[in-house]
Amino acid sequence: MLAPRSLRSRLLLASGASIAAIAMMTGCTSGGSTSTDTAVDVNSVENNAAAGDSITIGFSGPAADHGWLGAINTAAIAEAKKYPDVNLVVAEGTNDANLQISQVETFINDKVDAIVLLPTDGAALTDVAIKAMNAGIPVINVDREFSSTFAARTTILGDNYGMGVSAGTYICEQLDGKSGAVVAEIAGIDSLPLTQDRSKGFADALDDCGLKVNNRVAADFTVQGGEAAASQLLASAPKIDAIWNHDDDQGVGVLAAIDAAGRNEFFMVGGAGSANVMRAIQADNTVLKATVIYPSTQAADGISLARLIVQGKGMSDLVESAVPRKIQLYAPVVTKENVDVYLPSAFES
């Protein structure tokens, strides 16, 4: 049972508190000289961008067998090219945990300055990440968490639960108390914690406005899986008001099934933030009206933060003089009104 204050209100209050904290930090650093002024000067935008000591960063990411995963790798490489003081060593993308372990061991033996790692399996890569940390090499953990806090200097995560909350909140707003509204969900792989988190956030947000998931199927993050799952859903649900599809790559198949069934009585929300979905939102000529971002910039952020950590810098918008231990990225909703903001950084699926 949710507390009396709505989920949406609590999230807005939390966001407001964060904004207030940032405003306080800005106010504290804009006045006279204090002990924190030195740290802020050191972590200024100009100082962080200035070339420092040359460093080598090892990057091991996934096999690019999915649009979002391919974008993770591409964005990381592009980010490294921005810095003349960064030499990026890229291991071959893989979904084999044992191969990835050997890649990290090679980085350790080569004495790289930092490692950015999106593990194919967080638990399986934990021990070798600890080995790197013990060797004095900071590890930046991306997207899939290790099973020990000792395995990473900094962890960068998307917000799977937040994706569900954002999708559910948007659907609540669009349906605006419609009596008897039917909401459907096309999930990813049900055995994965990320899918479970997305579904939990979605259910919580719907519950907050008196709705529920009436029809649910799971796919597998592929075009073929999305089409098969959507066909099954449409056959079993003669009337639907809104659908949330967890993943824009599998959404290509979902839209194909919708077109084949000739259904258009509902609107659909996507997930992850692919460019083709955003272009459809922009054109506004399909049932697809929004998508929820799961940032494909996480590894690129990891490269940027690895550079700051090795060079002894912090984040320029924080008073704290060191890079935080954990950063979780936001899951905004992209609609026709704001799609131009997000399309330039979207990935192709």
Name the segment(s) of the chain with CATH classification 3.40.50.2300.
Answer: 53-157+296-310, 160-295+334-345
Question: Rounded to an integer, what distance in angstroms lies between the CA atom of residue 74 and that of residue 62?
Answer: 11
Cβ pair 215, 238 in contact under 8 A: no
The pLDDT of 92-114, averaged and rounded, is 97
SS3 of 293, please? strand
pLDDT (0 to 100) of residue 42: 60
- CA 254, CA 232: separation in Å to the nearest integer? 10
Average pLDDT, the chain: 88
The answer to whether the CB of 287 falls within 8 A of the CB of 266 is yes
Give residue 8's pLDDT. 45
For strands 288-293 and 333-334, give the pairing.
antiparallel
Residue range 48-60: mean pLDDT, rounded: 91
Report whether 245 contacts 290 (CB < 8 A): no
**pLDDT at residue 26, rounded to an integer:** 36
What pLDDT does residue 48 have?
83
Is the pLDDT at 118 greater than 90, yes or no? yes
Amino acid 146: pLDDT: 96
Average pLDDT in the 146-153 region?
97
Cα–Cα distance, 225 to 230 (Å, whole number): 8
Contact 7, 208 (CB under 8 A): yes
**Strands 139-142 and 55-60: what pairing?**
unpaired
Residue 96 has phi, psi (to 5 degrees) of -100, 110
Query: Does the pLDDT of residue 98 top 60, yes or no?
Result: yes
At how many degrees (to 10) do helices 67-80 and 248-261 cross? 140
pLDDT on residue 349:
76
Q: Which helix (H) or strand (E) holds 163?
A: helix 160-175
What's the average model confidence in pLDDT over 80-86?
A: 97
Reported as a single tens digit per residue, the pLDDT across 14-33 is 333 333 333 333 333 333 33
Q: Per-residue pLDDT tens for 305-347?
A: 999 999 999 998 888 889 999 999 999 999 999 999 999 989 9
Condensed to tens digits (0 to 9), the pLDDT of residues 241-286 reads 999 999 999 999 999 999 999 999 999 999 999 999 999 999 999 9
As given in the structure block, the two tokens for residue 237 are 């649900």
pLDDT at 47 over 70: yes
Q: In CATH, which superfamily holds the domain spanning 53-157+296-310?
A: Response regulator (3.40.50.2300)
Which of 67, 6, 15 shows the shortest CA–CA distance to 271? 67
> Is 1 a residue whose pLDDT tops 80?
no
**CB proximity list for 153: less than 8 A, separation 6 or greater:** 133, 138, 139, 140, 309, 323, 325
Q: Binning pLDDT at 50, 70 and 90, where does residue 50 land?
A: confident
Assigned token pair, 92: 């071959």
Both structure tokens of 168: 């559910």
What's residue 41's pLDDT? 52
> Would you state the structure tokens that stand for residue 109, as one six-digit string?
């033996």
Give the residue-averaged pLDDT of 185-190: 97
What mean pLDDT is predicted for residues 123-137?
98
Predicted confidence at residue 39, as pLDDT, reads 42
**Nearest Cα residue to 129 out of 142, 143, 115:** 115
How many CB atoms are closer than 10 A to CB 348? 12
Distance from C-alpha of 318 to C-alpha of 24, rounded to nearest angstrom: 11
If you classify domain 160-295+334-345 with CATH, what class do you get?
alpha beta
Q: Is a pLDDT exceeding 50 seen at residue 2?
A: no
Yes or no: say if 133 and 157 are a contact pair by the CB < 8 Å rule. no
Beta strands in the chain (DSSP E): 55-60, 86-90, 114-117, 139-142, 154-157, 183-187, 213-218, 242-245, 267-272, 288-293, 326-328, 333-334
In the DSSP assignment, the letter for residue 296 is: T
Give the number of other Cβ atoms within 10 Å of residue 23's Cβ.
10
Exposed, middle or buried, 242 (CB in 10 Å: 0-12/13-18/19+)? buried
Q: In angstroms, rounded to a whole number, what is the distance separating the alpha carbons of residues 132 and 126? A: 10
- pLDDT, residue 133, reads 98
**220-232 pLDDT tens trace:** 999 999 999 999 9
Note whether 101 and 146 are within 8 A (CB): no
- The percentage of the chain sitting over the pLDDT mark of 70, rounded to a whole number, equals 88
- Band of residue 6 on the pLDDT scale cut at 50, 70, 90: very low
